[in-house]
Amino acid sequence: MSLVKQRDPEQREFHQAVQEVVETVKPVLDRNMEYRQQAVLKRITEPERVIMFRVPWQDDDGQVQVNRGFRVEMNSALGPYKGGLRFHPSVNLGIIKFLAFEQVFKNSLTTLAMGGGKGGSDFDPKGKSDGEVMRFCQSFMAELYRHIGPNTDIPAGDIGVGAREIGYLFGMYKKLKNEFTGVLTGKSLNWGGSLIRPEATGYGNVYFASEMLATRQDTMEGKICLVSGAGNVAQFTTEKILDLGGKVVTLSDSGGYIYDEAGIDQEKLAFVMQLKNIRRGRISEYVEKYRSAVYTSVDPTLDYNPLWTHKADCALPCATQNEINQKDGENLVSGGVRLVSEGANMPCTPDAIDLFLEAEVLYAPGKAANAGGVAVSGLEMAQNSMRLSWPREEVDNRLKQIMKSIHSTCLDAAADYSIGQNYLAGANIAGFTKVVNGMLDQGLV
């Protein structure tokens, strides 16, 4: 850890992600002397390659804007680099490195042959016109295209990158390479996308949560759930909870959150999808339409998020990193939450996670619970290679199977090291062992 911190002192989120893995895989290193001799931790925490580039583009007023682009190719022991692109003003090298690091273990857990990577830009798509987003994406790809490829590195979406951005990025890649290949996932259904890919992260999150509940002879039926976020992951987490008979009472965006005690039903969810995906509006508009719901805007003077103070059975954070701190964790536990399943990447701080584990809350880390998204990306790659597309039920069944298998893999790994029902340690140990064994097989490269 001291080496990692010394090398890049300002990359706090990266340190956090590494620390969590290092702590939980210590027993693995103790059991396998070769891992220490081969310096696997030193190797796995250093990206295989980091690409940083200038992204110049022209806004609608004719002004020249310059953003910074990133692609971190973290680890290719198990397959080509795979992971999303994030467009958000908070993006910097430390954020992309933390996401790429998490992605390595997540992809390892999916059972599919994918290495880990992540990329993005500090570009803020909020309030930008379609034309501006297109010009930005084209400029971004004008550099990225030389570093990626269907057998090398396959980007996808993440925060700020959805179907629209993937379309513009793909169009530019195809033009520059004169090649129509599955170089990006999350493509539109009409031109190479997979059924269930939009739903996959959210559905997978709830499949994983249901597996956890089943270990206590319980189901989602009747559960009151707090969901944060209002993007792709939050939307389809909500949809699957409704399918399984649960009730979702909150959603949020960067401006604030809505609390709807009556529950967000299918019709209200359809409104949110239209609002967020088509109109690109704010979640506050929900209460203008559904008057019994309450909107609370973000209060920067608070050191906790009031969303997590509502009484509920389950919490599914689907917004962003570190959105549940120690105080939020205390509020959730005292509000009666028995399950926390991470739709976002690293949404809980280490203090909050410790509280959940102490209180025997069923806690699933993102690299296990949200792996359904990248898993179906892997299935999209398989379909692209065969030039076939599978029916909805087939992809959904495979997704269910994969989430089941990740769940049992985590439990088996934890049992192997006698650490009980600890999904965090289980996910890290299983993900890590597979990647490290691949690295050792392939020699010092």
> Which residues does the annotation mark as catalytic?
118
Least gap, CB of 186 to ligand GLU (angstroms) = 6
Least gap, CB of 416 to ligand GLU (angstroms) = 26
Least gap, CB of 77 to ligand GLU (angstroms) = 17
Q: Which region among 217-225, 241-249, 291-299, 372-380 touches ligand GLU (by CB under 6 A)?
A: 372-380
Least gap, CB of 378 to ligand GLU (angstroms) = 8
Task: Name the residue with the smallest CB distance to ligand GLU.
Answer: 84
According to the binding rule CB under 6 A, does residue 237 interact with ligand GLU? no
Give yes or no for a contact between 235 and 269, defined as CB atoms under 8 angstroms apart.
Answer: yes
Q: Which region among 82-90, 207-215, 277-285, 429-437 touches ligand GLU (by CB under 6 A)?
A: 82-90
Residue 245 Ramachandran class (φ > 0 left, ψ -120 to 50 alpha, else beta): left
Query: Smaller CB distance to ligand GLU: residue 82 or 338?
Result: 82
155 burial (CB, 10 Å; 0-12 / 13-18 / 19+) is buried
Task: Tell me the two tokens of residue 192.
Answer: 């190479």
According to the binding rule CB under 6 A, does residue 235 interact with ligand GLU? no
- Interface size with ligand GLU, residues (CB under 6 A): 11
3-state SS of 336-359? CCCEEECCCCCCECHHHHHHHHHC
According to the binding rule CB under 6 A, does residue 373 interact with ligand GLU? yes
Least gap, CB of 247 to ligand GLU (angstroms) = 27
Give yes or no for a contact between 383 and 364, defined as CB atoms under 8 angstroms apart.
Answer: no
According to the binding rule CB under 6 A, does residue 94 interact with ligand GLU? no
Residue 178 Ramachandran class (φ > 0 left, ψ -120 to 50 alpha, else beta): left
- How many residues can be counted in the chain? 445
Helices and strands, number each (H, E), in the chain: 17, 12
String marking each residue 158-187 x if it binds ligand GLU according to CB under 6 A = x--------------------------x--
Give yes or no for a contact between 93 and 52, defined as CB atoms under 8 angstroms apart.
Answer: yes
Query: Smaller CB distance to ligand GLU: residue 187 or 338?
Result: 187
Compute the distance between CA of residue 194 and CA of residue 306 in angstroms, rounded to an integer. Answer: 37
Q: What CA–CA distances, in Å, run from 394 to 352, 376, 378?
A: 37, 11, 14
According to the binding rule CB under 6 A, does residue 84 interact with ligand GLU? yes
* Residues within window 293-352 making contact with ligand GLU, judged by CB under 6 A: 345
Residues of this chain that bind ligand GLU (CB under 6 A): 82-84, 106, 156, 158, 185, 345, 373-374, 377
